A and B are shown apart, each in its own frame.
Chain A
Amino acid sequence: MTTSEQVIGRTREQMAERVALDIPDGSYVNLGIGIPELITRYVPEGREFIYHTENGLLGMGPSPAEGEGEPELINAGKRRVSAIDGACYFHHADSFAMIRGGHIDLCVLGALQVAKNGDLANWSTGGKDAIPAVGGAMDLVAGVKTIYVITQHNTKHGDPKLVDACTYPLTGVGVVSRIYTDLAVIEVTERGFQLVELSPGVSFEYVQERTGAELIPIATE
């Protein structure tokens, strides 16, 4: 990646901050591992979110300093976390009943690929030697009311992650509703990828060039 490409669009932190703006007050939220975890830093003033982690905690709080915390108070990424006042613990079947039963309002996940119909691939590149590992991703996309994706617009190699059809094994069919990337906010609609917002300093053509499917421009009055 060249330096000139790095300065275009939003940073990971800015992407997380942008997602947080769209989360309604009072939401029960499950965050995937990686960039989604940054969202906890950017809860807008006057709003409260309760974080669910699928290994059995509702009311997950910040991670303690390195080397502190407890080995049996962890999140789904096996990182040590804390529990807020009002938190509760439960077993795995109850935790996934919250997910499958449609009780969690929003889940924000990373992606390998998102297709224009909302198909998501985020668990496997299908490599022959790779050990397949799925975790809770398929349960989350099937059960949580709204699925947002937060991801770099392109892979490290410059390939588009937003595509006509996923080539990697699917996590779920038609499950993604919005995508937040370093370059844009994009809604998945019946007509395909609808641009909602360009990142500051980014042009439509620039995003379209880096997208593997047609991008519908913002309608002008």
Chain B
Amino acid sequence: MINKQISSPAEAVADIFDGATVMVGGFGEAGSPIELIHALIDQGATNLTVVNNNTGSGEVGLAALIQAGRVSKMICSYPRTANSTVFPKLYHSGQTELELVPQGTLAERIRAGGAGIPAFYTATSVGTPLAEGKEVRNIDGRDYVLEYGLTADFSIIKGLVADTYGNLIFNKTARNFAPVMAMAGRTTIAQAATVVAPGKLDPETIITPGIFVQRVVHVEHPEYESELVAKGATYPS
């Protein structure tokens, strides 16, 4: 019998190990799996390489994970956001390394990794500092940069509704990186506000097929970064 539902965020992230690469869904606060991130902070894994578009805001969620000193390397496109104060400190002190990747290249590297494609050529970044040291190939008269696929030991993402096979649908612009991260994570853990039995989701509307999701956790009322930041919340409090 297949039932991917795990009873708590803590249990779902229990085996994330020191030194793991973890993809974290979300674009800013939209789609950020805050409860799974907080469970990961409690769990204590460290020396993580984290892939996310940003670096969190305030002192909750991803920013709190970084602040707790658990992230040795960030792979992201935009580590500057309003209320993003934690990452700059650790970056300047040399505690957290940064690999800056153009946003579309980041998404495609994750998609490629999840699809078993080791590398691809793209016109993005040609002639810029972000192409330095990378192989360039001219195809049909245009230059392209070689970029490598990205995979992760774990992906933690947020859906709106999951079934116990791991099929997912998302909420508006909270979808962002989650579907490709689900593909690229060897173990993908999805929190969802509603978890239903197989057959309750219309197969025509499923966005992420369950084969890409290994664990589902029910988080009925997920918190939002902006609301926590507005309240001055920190994690751990």
Whether A and B are associated in the same complex: the answer reads: yes
CB contacts (< 8 Å) of B226 on chain A: these are 71
Identify which of A16-24, A52-60, A151-159, A191-199 touches chain B.
Answer: A52-60
A100 on interface, CB distance cutoff 8 Å: yes
Q: Which of A57, A133, A171 contacts B173 (CB 8 A)?
A: A57
Which among A55, A83, A134 has the highest number of chain B CB atoms within 10 Å? A134
Is A142 in contact with B125, judged by CB distance below 8 angstroms? yes
Which among B29, B98, B106 has the highest number of chain A CB atoms within 10 Å? B106
B107 on interface, CB distance cutoff 8 Å: yes
CB contacts (< 8 Å) of B178 on chain A: these are 91
Is A139 in contact with B175, judged by CB distance below 8 angstroms? no
Contact of A133 with B104 at beta-carbon distance under 8 Å, contacts A91-B177, A100-B123, A170-B128 already known: no
B13 on interface, CB distance cutoff 8 Å: no
Closest to B84 in A: A131
CB contacts (< 8 Å) of A93 on chain B: these are 107-108, 110-111, 179-180
Name the distance in Å between A76's Cβ and chain B's nearest Cβ. 8
CB contacts (< 8 Å) of A135 on chain B: these are 77-78, 102-103
Name the distance in Å between B204's Cβ and chain A's nearest Cβ. 15
CB contacts (< 8 Å) of A91 on chain B: these are 107, 175-180, 207
Is A139 in contact with B103, judged by CB distance below 8 angstroms? yes
B33 on interface, CB distance cutoff 8 Å: no
Is A136 in contact with B102, judged by CB distance below 8 angstroms? yes
Name the distance in Å between B233's Cβ and chain A's nearest Cβ. 15
* Interface of chain B residues 117 through 152 with chain A (CB within 8 A): 122-130
Contact of A92 with B103 at beta-carbon distance under 8 Å, contacts A135-B78, A142-B123 already known: yes
Q: Which of A56, A136, A137, A171 contacts B175 (CB 8 A)?
A: A56
Contact of A134 with B78 at beta-carbon distance under 8 Å, contacts A56-B173, A92-B103, A170-B127 already known: yes
A172 on interface, CB distance cutoff 8 Å: yes
Is B80 in contact with A133, judged by CB distance below 8 angstroms? yes
CB contacts (< 8 Å) of A70 on chain B: these are 172
A51 on interface, CB distance cutoff 8 Å: no
B200 on interface, CB distance cutoff 8 Å: no
Which among B27, B92, B180 has the highest number of chain A CB atoms within 10 Å? B27
Contact of A71 with B30 at beta-carbon distance under 8 Å, contacts A138-B102, A170-B128 already known: yes
CB contacts (< 8 Å) of B177 on chain A: these are 91-92
Is B107 in contact with A95, judged by CB distance below 8 angstroms? yes
B70-82 CB mask vs A (1 if < 8 Å, else 0) is 0000000111111
A176 on interface, CB distance cutoff 8 Å: no
Name the distance in Å between B4's Cβ and chain A's nearest Cβ. 21
Report which B residues bind A (CB closer than 8 A): 27-31, 53, 77-82, 87-88, 91-92, 98, 100-108, 110-111, 122-130, 170-180, 207, 224-227
Report which A residues bind B (CB closer than 8 A): 53-57, 70-74, 78, 83, 89-93, 95-96, 99-100, 124, 129, 131-139, 142-143, 169-173
Beyond A92-B180, A96-B108, 12 additional contacts (C-beta under 8 Å) are: A56-B27, A72-B29, A72-B172, A72-B224, A73-B30, A95-B104, A96-B103, A96-B107, A129-B92, A133-B77, A138-B130, A170-B128
